[in-house]
Structures are given as structure tokens and as C-alpha cells.
Amino acid sequence: MSRAQEFHKMIENSRLVAEEILDKDAPAFTSESHNRPTGENRLYLGDNIHAMLSLIEDGFKGRLDLVYIDPPFFSGSDYRKRISIGKGDDELVFYNNAYKDTWKDGLMDYLGMISIRLFLIWELLSEKGTIYVHVDSRTSHYMRLILDEVFGENKFLNEIIWSYKSGGAGRKSFSKKHDNILVYTKTKDFIFNPLKEKSYNRGMKPYRFKNVLEYEDEIGWHTLVNMKDVWNVDMVGRTSSERVGYETQKPEALLQRIIKASSNEDSIVGDFFMGSGTTIKVAEKNGRRWIGADNSIHSVVTCASRLGDSAGYTLFHNLDMEDSIIDFSVDVNRTSEGICVSIEDISIDKNFITKNSSDPELAEKILKEKPSKYIDYLGVYRVNIHRECIREWYGPEIEMEFDLEDSFQKEDRIVIRLIDIFGNIAEKELEG
């Protein structure tokens, strides 16, 4: 079969699979509120197909004004999250598998995965909606054809070239230092707020044309023009203050442009491959409502930690703790001030700790002496009809003893959740 025939078969098959998926019920999710959610902000931990089905079931069809996706790039590599505990000579580095980008059935398998999701995203986009699909030269030519199929070739808006500096240079070709962001709209009546950029004058000198505003900065004289489709934005480098250790993290400045240009204050912005949560963080900063989904626990913990307690949202998940390799016990003391809770006897499978460590011996020593160093998340939940997170902490170095208000009723169920830096989860229930 020729490549063209394979492609045609893949698209038609994806269209059918998407139709079948849309006929199915959404899987049940456990939902829990964080920081008293008031709007429609949602985080999903799970396959994005399930997240999208759940959204459709909950009435989000045709309501998202902007979707940005930055899926795996068909790179043939698997990606990690770097975590370090301790400092100086005692620093221990771990690399966790964050997500896979290896495709044993090849390119059409990968393209099929994306195509199915694009058909579903089309359903969620509003009539004013725009999608940004972030890929690179490995697949941008195929992605353009897929988007022509899903959205229609007359809905193509832009191909943004994100140009950046990074380590490594091409020896037998020009160095590949750009990504491609393909932009399509759902209809011809889409949101677009033009952005401005500086255009430096020749010789950096003022032109003094009549009715043209000119500005001077440390580089020289310039005017402001409508932004072009080649964007020079710095990557999140090793020393960047934005860096959260999630490989393939995208810069906030890139998402700032996308969100400003293609959404308004009342818009809902979605990212179904959210990774470290850059889109969500920038959407929140710009007063947008947002929906994020990822099937990696590291992604969801990283994104939630980046949001801090500034953002209210509902988390949807199906945490599986059956074969968890982490355990702990809880001691509760009622004092005159309230309830003092201590997390004790934390145990984590030793193999897990030593396997990915830069120094297995030190890793084991810390496990014996201070296992709480391995805890990346501690959350306290009140469980009634609905789960509500009442306190939460993110690593590193979370205190394992804390006070809770003495406002709990006998019938309240309180659940304590720990997540270690490897993404293992354990929960314990407290009596009211």
C-alpha cells in the first residue's frame, strides 16, 4: 500500500472510531473540588478521550473558544520528569517516566491517535473557536492534511513558526530550531485579537514619518506592527525561573500570545495534552476559564502545584491504588486548639527508590532515615456526597504533622492522600 493509501485508510478509520466513541457513555470519574471552585475550571487525570467524553456529557459541546494541544511529537523517545531532593553534596536526582512517545506500530498508529482526538476536539470547539496544534517538522506535513480533513482546508488560519535557540547543531543539515504550530478555526466567525510586535527601523534611527508613532528602547527606534507568523520566543532553558523539570515544557510567553489572540475574558480554554500545565497557568493568569487533561499523574501534580491555591477547580480522576507500593499510618490527637494529625511509618518499595536514583545507596539511606523526603504531595479531603480538598501541600520537604480545625462532625469522612515523587499514591481514612 502506498503512503497516500495508508493515510487515507488511517483518516477514514479514525473518523469511524471517533463516531463510535461519541456513541459511548463517558466513564465514571471521581470528582473533587479544590479551593472552592466557582467556575467551570476542570483538571482531568486520565486519557483525554475519556476527558472529552465526560465534557460532552456535562454539556461542554460547542463551548470551548480555544484549544491548544502539544501532543507527543513522534520523536521515538520517552520523556521524564527530573526531581531532586536535598541540596549540595546530599542532592539526589531521580528521573521519573512522565510519558511515552514511542509507537511500535509506526507513523500511522501515531497519526491515528491524534486524528481521533482532533475529531472529538472539533465537537467541543465553539462556533468562534480556534485550535492550535503544536508539532514539529517530523509530522507537520501530515498534521496539516489531517486538520484539512477534520476542519476543512478553508478553515486554515496560520502556520506559526516558533523559532528558538537550543543546544546541539546540525552537521549534515541546517540545525532544526523551530516548531510548527498549525492554526485552524471551526467557522469563519472566529475570535482574533491582533497582537502587536516591535519592528525596528533601518539603522535603528527614527524615520519621523507623519502620523506614524515611533518608540525607542535599548536596541533602537521602532514602530509597532501587527504580529507576524514567525515567533522568536526563548525556550524554557536550564536556568529559567519557569522551569518545573517536566521535559518538553513550553514557555509561558508562547501561550500568552495564543491565549490573548484567540480567546476573550469569558472564554473557556482547553489543553488535552497539558503536560506541566503551561496553558492552564497562563489561562488562569489571564482570567480565562480552563480545562486541562493528561494521563500522567506527574503532569497533574505539576500543574496543580504551579496553580497553587490561587485557582479554584474540580479535579476528575480514577486513582488506582490497588497495587500501590507506598503505605503510611496516621495518628490523630485532639487538643484544645483542634486536631493534630501526624503521618507516620511511611514505607515505599525500596526497589522503586533505588532504581531511578543517581545514588542508590544514599537513596536507601534517606528512605530509612527520613522517608517523608520522598513525598511530593499531601492532601486532606472531606468526603461527603462530594469530595472537597481542605488542605494540600506540594513538595519538596513537606511537614508530616499539621493541625486541622476542630470543625469536623462525627459523620464527616476525612481522607488523607500521599503521592510520592514517583507518582505512587496511598490514601487513609480518618474517623470523624
Ligand X SMILES: C[S@@+](CC[C@H](N)C(=O)[O-])C[C@H]1O[C@@H](n2cnc3c(N)ncnc32)[C@H](O)[C@@H]1O
With respect to ligand X, which residue has the nearer C-beta, 52 or 367? 52
Minimum distance from CB of 274 to ligand X (Å)? 6
Minimum distance from CB of 248 to ligand X (Å)? 4
Q: Calculate the alpha carbon distances from 298 to 73, 189, 311 in Å.
A: 19, 37, 19
85: CB partners within 8 A, 6+ apart: 91, 92, 94, 366, 373, 374, 396, 421
Minimum distance from CB of 275 to ligand X (Å)? 2
With respect to ligand X, which residue has the nearer C-beta, 112 or 371? 112
Minimum distance from CB of 223 to ligand X (Å)? 32
Give the span between the Cα atoms of 343 and 339, in whole angstroms.
13
With respect to ligand X, which residue has the nearer C-beta, 185 or 276? 276
Q: Which helix (H) or strand (E) holds 389?
A: strand 387-394
CA angle (131, 279, 230) in 5-degree steps:
60
Q: With binding defined as CB under 6 A, does residue 180 bind ligand X?
A: no
| Residue number closest to ligand X, CB atom | 275
37: CB partners within 8 A, 6+ apart: 312, 313, 314
Q: Which residue has the cell 531532593?
A: 85
295-314: contacts with ligand X (CB under 6 A): 295-296, 299
DSSP designation for 27: P
Expressed in percent and rounded to 5, the helix, strand and coil fractions of the chain are 30, 35, 40
With respect to ligand X, which residue has the nearer C-beta, 99 or 352? 99
Best CA proximity match to 134, nearest among 304, 264, 306, 275: 275
x/- letters, 139..158, toward ligand X (CB under 6 A): --------------------
With respect to ligand X, which residue has the nearer C-beta, 277 or 371? 277
With respect to ligand X, which residue has the nearer C-beta, 291 or 366? 291
With respect to ligand X, which residue has the nearer C-beta, 143 or 346? 143
Give the span between the Cα atoms of 422 and 95, in whole angstroms.
9
Provide the Cα torsion 75, 54, 290, 146; round to 10°.
Answer: 40
x/- letters, 188..227, toward ligand X (CB under 6 A): ----------------------------------------
Compute how many residues bind ligand X; rule: CB under 6 A. 20
Minimum distance from CB of 327 to ligand X (Å)? 26
33-72: contacts with ligand X (CB under 6 A): 47-48, 70-72
Give the span between the Cα atoms of 67 and 130, in whole angstroms.
6
246-275: contacts with ligand X (CB under 6 A): 246, 248-250, 273, 275
Joined together, the cell numbers standing for residue 187 give: 467557522
Q: With binding defined as CB under 6 A, does residue 99 bind ligand X?
A: yes
Task: Kindly list the residues in this chain that would bind ligand X in the complex (CB under 6 A).
Answer: 47-48, 70-72, 98-99, 246, 248-250, 273, 275-276, 278, 293-296, 299
